Amino acid sequence: MEHNKHTDSGNVRVVCRFRPLNAKEKELGVETIQQICAEGTVKVKDPKVPEPLVITLDRIFDMGSTQESVYEASARPVVNSVL
């Protein structure tokens, strides 16, 4: 089924943006707990749990993502459909 860009723009999508560690976290030796595996899939490891949690989202933005790229891909279509 082909999706109409105009009607899909108002649909709810779940996205996640991972930020880089800040200076204090680096100083404390904190390690990142996520591993982006594939388009839309991320593994989150918790030291207290043996198996990582696997989460599937509509879109994942890694630590190198800019604010502009996140906005353009996830918020702009919704804003445009509202206006």
> Does residue 47 lie within any of the structural domains?
yes
- pLDDT tens digits, residue range 14-59? 999 999 899 999 999 998 889 999 888 999 998 888 999 999 999 9
How far apart (Å, rounded) are the C-alpha atoms in residues 44 and 10? 29
Predicted structure pTM score: 0.70
> Does residue 81 lie within any of the structural domains?
no
> Does residue 82 lie within any of the structural domains?
no
> Does residue 51 lie within any of the structural domains?
yes
Q: Which domain holds residue 42?
A: 5-76
Q: What share of the chain is helix, strand, coil (3-state, %, to 5)?
A: 30, 25, 45
> Does residue 10 lie within any of the structural domains?
yes
37: Cα within 13 Å, side-chain hemisphere: 12
For the chain, what is the domain count? 1
How far apart (Å, rounded) are the C-alpha atoms in residues 55 and 72? 23
